[in-house]
Structure 1
Amino acid sequence: MTDHESLVRRSLAGTDAFDGRVRAQADRLTDALADGAFDNEAATLGLELEVYALDGEGAERSLAPIPDDVYEGPADKELGLHNAELNAAPSRFDDDGVAAQAAEIEDDLAATRERAREHGLEIVLDAMPAVAPSEGTHAYLDDVEVRGGAGDSSGSPDDAGRPVVVPGGDPDDAVLVARNMRQDPRYGALDNVAVRRAGGEIDFSVPGAETGYRTILFESLATSIQPHVQVPDTDDFPRYHNLATRTLGPLVALSANSPFLPGDCYGEVDDPERLVEETHHELRIAAFEQSMNQGCRKVRVPDDLDDPTDALEHVVADDSFAPFLREWIEDEDDVEEEGQKGGDPASAAWEFDYKRGTFWRWVRGVAGGDAVDGACDERSLRVEYRPLPTQPTVRDIVGLQVLTAGLLRGLVTADHPLGELPWDDAERSFYAAIEDGLDADLTWVTADGERTGDSEEIFAELFEYARRGLDEQGVDEATRDRYLDPIEARWDAGVTPSAWKKARVREHLADGVDLETALARMSEEYVDLSREREHFAEWV
């Protein structure tokens, strides 16, 4: 084991061995895929859920780090000290499986909240905090230590007097350590390579806020849910993947929940009402894309797949970002040999899995996973649906999970022609939904093969085919209605969480308070309602 900055510097120096192992491991996975090793008996569901913590009471709440003992329960650590992740283990995609997903998320969230409450913290189901840490958002996110180089804290200062340093891989080069980031050397390597590519500081620009950070940590303001849908017949995988891309716009429009940064990010605002009008419904996307897209478009809508093996080849072809070798952190001398002769290729693909973890696409194919009795073993091929923001309640979260999974299943089983929608139109719809939510200019292909921009037609088919897919998977009508009705109610009312947030901030501004106070009051109401109500539609 080597110290943090030495490992980061080693990654920044690069290693030819990394790309060679990724290529060899992908070849073994490709052979196994062709041999049918990733085919399974039945589909499964899984879920990742990201949350953040607040300290204090009412409108005085502030973003806060989570103590380590909170993670002794079901929660996992994430990029920022204020972040946590909960994971529902995969279950069969059927009625019992949906119930299992909901129960696990509910139980794990309750246990994590109980541990956090011992420290006076509130675990929040939200996609982006609208309130700052106690020391201020910029001070918290840009709290960076410079180690090494021409002396600690070296580098020419920027306009604010901060040393701006370009990190490097040579022994005498500086390494940056963001104090409020988890001290995992792989996080540190990703952070430093992005900063290096940006020339020492990463610009971040959204309506009303223009700033820069010496770290990617502003990405940690964004929290998401990620439904996972395992496809049992891998020959079908390209169709699932490509249809997922074409559903991005409508599903993001329905789920939008991050229209505001913490209030102190905006500074003096001459026209706060105009800012509320112009801000995008989803700032999470900008935070992630702008933090990591340095010198390449790492974070984006994925290219279409023609063959299941494309899910592997696209990872291999992607830009290698902060490469890491397994033995650097596990003290293994001969890991290159492990699994190369016999054995399971999915369990001997550490470097490939690491690179796939930096293959940041809004829809991602993943080879490998967990065994589920009666459904699959550890060798499976799944769709990770990654653009959806964390929702206000568990019922909303599971609702979006089953909406996503049911829709993909329904479109495939009905041989729906949505896949004929050109990729460019799918990408444009996605970014339109990010900006305008339910008012976005979306494009769809109907079941009759007709191109349409009529939102009434689009959302009618979306819920129809989601219900068809759930029915196909044996999810009974009561379960379908329990989880889909509250999401469909958003469309009927024309109100999503982001639209609700904008409306509440407007009302507080009309009462004469400044923008930061209006955001704090809205956040207070959001947090309280998310704990008191069963689903978001009950707020409207």
Structure 2
Amino acid sequence: MSDTTDAVREALDPDRRASFQRRVEREATALREDIDAGVFDATDFAVGIELEGYVVDGQGRLASAPDDLFGIDGCSRELGVHNAELHTDPDVVSDAGLRRQLDGLRSTYRAVRSRLAEDDRRLVLDAIWTVPPAEGTRAYIEARTRTDGLARPANMRPVPRYVALDEEIRARNGGSLDLDVYGFETAESMLAESLATSIQPHLQVPDPTDIPTYLNVATRTMGPILSLTANSPFLPADLYDDSDPDAALDRTPHELRIPLFERSVDEGSRKCRVPGDVPDLPTLIDRIVTDPTLVAPPDVDEGDGDGDPSERYPALGAKRGTYWRWVRPVFGGDVPRGADGGRVADDGGSVRIEYRPLPTQPTLRDTVGVQALVTGALRGVVAADHPLATLPWDDARASFYAAVDDGPGADLRWVARSGDRTTATARIYDELFALARRGLDELGVGSETIEWALAPIEARREADHTAPSAWKRTQVRDALDAGASLREAIEGMQAAYVERSGHGTPFAQW
């Protein structure tokens, strides 16, 4: 029996899962005690980011990433063999810190591109792949490799946790996942989630007890920020072969990544969703603990939870990994770098917010611009005691899914500085960027760096297309009007996107 197969069966064992859950509960008790003792107090706000992409071959078709790519510092594996994630070391929020985030991404990106060029491949910064591999999208997603009686997705990384999750989610759905997406109604594997990629800004908060406040504020910002950043309006072109082009344009949301992810990992309890408001940190920890346990990850068997705070709660950390909310907390992590580039003298832990609803952006400058917008807006709302926090949760959720459906044309919902409710997009954007400036200023970022950081995203307001999704839809519509088939239009749009993205020019200047 292979090591992977053995580990997958252990992860799915009911008794082992129950034991894992008991360990999660013990670690949660220790975490609460450490938080009360100040172990997770920090000196500064800090930021980091995760940036996902996918690999294509010389013809622009989806391709696998070579294993040695992940020996590059700052580059990690993801669910699909075609996926790769770039990530930065955390930096204290400062002029130097924000600029170092971009420098770190650039360094890793260049190394990744250099290695992939050896195989005539490239990494694409995009939110969904639309040019399928040679065998076609469905065949690629549903291909399986059988080993010792276990059939795992052939194009999924053979990580026991991934394979076990796929087995469990498929079993709970009778072997077929209801995606309910035009052109892709059902799938036989959670690997369908690997169609889409994201950016995930992280914001470390010095006082752990403030995390609920920032999470609740984050929920209120998701709609407006997603409306400016939507970037996944089309599926792989071969899934539309028999479709009416007008129907594909009319029935496809601006941000397909959201329904694809929510439904690819739905095991019956809608684990992936907008989080409910949380009143305090103990309640938040309880919610993670009581969230359904799907598998018992095989790599957290050993250890007694002692040691560095970033590694003290491996079972709880693994449990949090399937607490699929669009914003969620992370306990533990690397000590950030200070303004001078050296590590902050702090041997404690950290608590940060992982802001997950945003698609991968076309360029690194766009990515760091979004990171600054998220960081500044969250801090700005709290620092200014802005009434956005009073927006009812139902309205915040509706605003988010409106942005999923309609991108920059969404019916957004907001509470203005005056306390008035508004759906006026221009007014909402005015306040969003004003809050981002206020928050970054509050964190000690100078005006020159603030303008440098926010400029690529704020410029989208005056650009021909406010969000990348709108540009993509226009490109496809124009090609259809010129006589192209839907597949030709999508693949032509994608070729233009990859070329422009590769040049590194911020999207607003396209």
- Give the equivalent residue in structure 1 for 2:318: 354
Correspondence 1:88-103 to 2 at 5 A: 88-103=88-103
The more displaced of 374-383 and 443-452 is 374-383
- Give the equivalent residue in structure 2 for 1:158: none
- Give the equivalent residue in structure 2 for 1:201: 176
The answer as to whether partners of 2:102 and 2:368 remain within 8 angstroms in 1 is yes
Correspondence 1:388-403 to 2 at 5 A: 388-403=358-373
**Cα distance 1:525–1:327, how it changes in 2: closer, same or farther (>3 A)?**
closer
The answer as to whether partners of 1:363 and 1:386 remain within 8 angstroms in 2 is yes
- Give the equivalent residue in structure 2 for 1:526: 497
The more displaced of 99-108 and 71-80 is 71-80
The answer as to whether partners of 2:80 and 2:155 remain within 8 angstroms in 1 is yes
Identity %: 46
**Cα distance 1:325–1:3, how it changes in 2: closer, same or farther (>3 A)?**
closer
- Give the equivalent residue in structure 1 for 2:249: 276
User: 1:218 & 1:378 partners in 2: Cα distance?
Assistant: 39
- Give the equivalent residue in structure 2 for 1:245: 219
- Give the equivalent residue in structure 1 for 2:22: 20
Of 437, 451, 454, 2:407 maps to: 437
**Cα distance 1:374–1:419, how it changes in 2: closer, same or farther (>3 A)?**
same
SS in 2 for 1:382: strand
Is 1:175 aligned with 2:163? no
Q: Deviations over 1:446-490 (max 9, x none)?
A: 111111111121111000010111111122222222221221121
Q: Which amino acid aligns with 2:108?
A: D
User: 1:402 & 1:200 partners in 2: Cα distance?
Assistant: 42
Correspondence 1:14-413 to 2 at 5 A: 14=14, 15=16, 16-57=18-59, 61-74=60-73, 75-147=75-147, 175-207=150-182, 209-269=183-243, 271-326=244-299, 332=302, 335=303, 337-339=304-306, 343-344=307-308, 346-372=310-336, 373-374=343-344, 376-413=346-383
**Cα distance 1:422–1:338, how it changes in 2: closer, same or farther (>3 A)?**
closer
Q: Deviations over 1:48-76 (max 9, x none)?
A: 0101011123xxx2011111122221321
**Cα distance 1:449–1:144, how it changes in 2: closer, same or farther (>3 A)?**
same
The answer as to whether partners of 1:194 and 1:292 remain within 8 angstroms in 2 is yes
SS in 1 for 2:180: strand
The answer as to whether partners of 1:40 and 1:375 remain within 8 angstroms in 2 is no
**Cα distance 1:490–1:434, how it changes in 2: closer, same or farther (>3 A)?**
same
Q: Which amino acid aligns with 2:331?
A: A
Aligned residues: 500
Q: Which amino acid aligns with 1:316?
A: V
User: 2:20 & 2:400 partners in 1: Cα distance?
Assistant: 33
Give the Å deviation of 1:185.
0.5
Of 480, 488, 510, 1:517 maps to: 488
SS in 2 for 1:309: helix
In angstroms, what is the RMSD of aligned CA positions?
A: 1.6
User: 2:410 & 2:346 partners in 1: Cα distance?
Assistant: 39
SS in 2 for 1:89: coil
The answer as to whether partners of 2:305 and 2:314 remain within 8 angstroms in 1 is no
SS in 1 for 2:64: coil
Q: Which amino acid aligns with 1:106?
A: R
User: 1:375 & 1:414 partners in 2: Cα distance?
Assistant: 29
Give the Å deviation of 1:406.
0.6
**Cα distance 1:20–1:325, how it changes in 2: closer, same or farther (>3 A)?**
farther
Q: Which amino acid aligns with 2:421?
A: R
**TM-score scaled by structure 2?**
0.95
Give the Å deviation of 1:306.
1.1
**Cα distance 1:376–1:281, how it changes in 2: closer, same or farther (>3 A)?**
farther
The answer as to whether partners of 1:42 and 1:375 remain within 8 angstroms in 2 is no
User: 2:364 & 2:137 partners in 1: Cα distance?
Assistant: 28
SS in 1 for 2:281: coil
**Cα distance 1:113–1:533, how it changes in 2: closer, same or farther (>3 A)?**
closer
The answer as to whether partners of 2:125 and 2:362 remain within 8 angstroms in 1 is yes
The answer as to whether partners of 1:33 and 1:309 remain within 8 angstroms in 2 is no
- Give the equivalent residue in structure 2 for 1:427: 397
**TM-score scaled by structure 1?**
0.90
Q: Which amino acid aligns with 1:267?
A: D
Of 386, 391, 395, 1:416 maps to: 386
Q: Deviations over 1:276-304 (max 9, x none)?
A: 23310001111111111121111001121
Give the Å deviation of 1:376.
4.9
- Give the equivalent residue in structure 2 for 1:152: none
Q: Which amino acid aligns with 1:100?
A: R
Give the Å deviation of 1:273.
2.8
User: 1:54 & 1:412 partners in 2: Cα distance?
Assistant: 42
- Give the equivalent residue in structure 1 for 2:452: 482
SS in 1 for 2:90: strand
Give the Å deviation of 1:39.
1.0
User: 1:125 & 1:452 partners in 2: Cα distance?
Assistant: 34
Gaps of 5+ in 2: 337-342
Gaps of 5+ in 1: 149-173
- Give the equivalent residue in structure 2 for 1:161: none
**Cα distance 1:50–1:200, how it changes in 2: closer, same or farther (>3 A)?**
same
**Cα distance 1:474–1:202, how it changes in 2: closer, same or farther (>3 A)?**
same
SS in 2 for 1:501: helix
The answer as to whether partners of 1:44 and 1:375 remain within 8 angstroms in 2 is no
User: 2:283 & 2:355 partners in 1: Cα distance?
Assistant: 17
User: 1:297 & 1:27 partners in 2: Cα distance?
Assistant: 26
The answer as to whether partners of 1:175 and 1:192 remain within 8 angstroms in 2 is no
User: 1:147 & 1:41 partners in 2: Cα distance?
Assistant: 50
SS in 2 for 1:408: helix
The answer as to whether partners of 2:387 and 2:415 remain within 8 angstroms in 1 is yes
The answer as to whether partners of 1:48 and 1:85 remain within 8 angstroms in 2 is yes
Q: Deviations over 1:136-171 (max 9, x none)?
A: 1111110013445xxxxxxxxxxxxxxxxxxxxxxx
- Give the equivalent residue in structure 2 for 1:538: 509
The answer as to whether partners of 2:166 and 2:189 remain within 8 angstroms in 1 is yes
The answer as to whether partners of 2:161 and 2:298 remain within 8 angstroms in 1 is no
Give the Å deviation of 1:378.
4.9
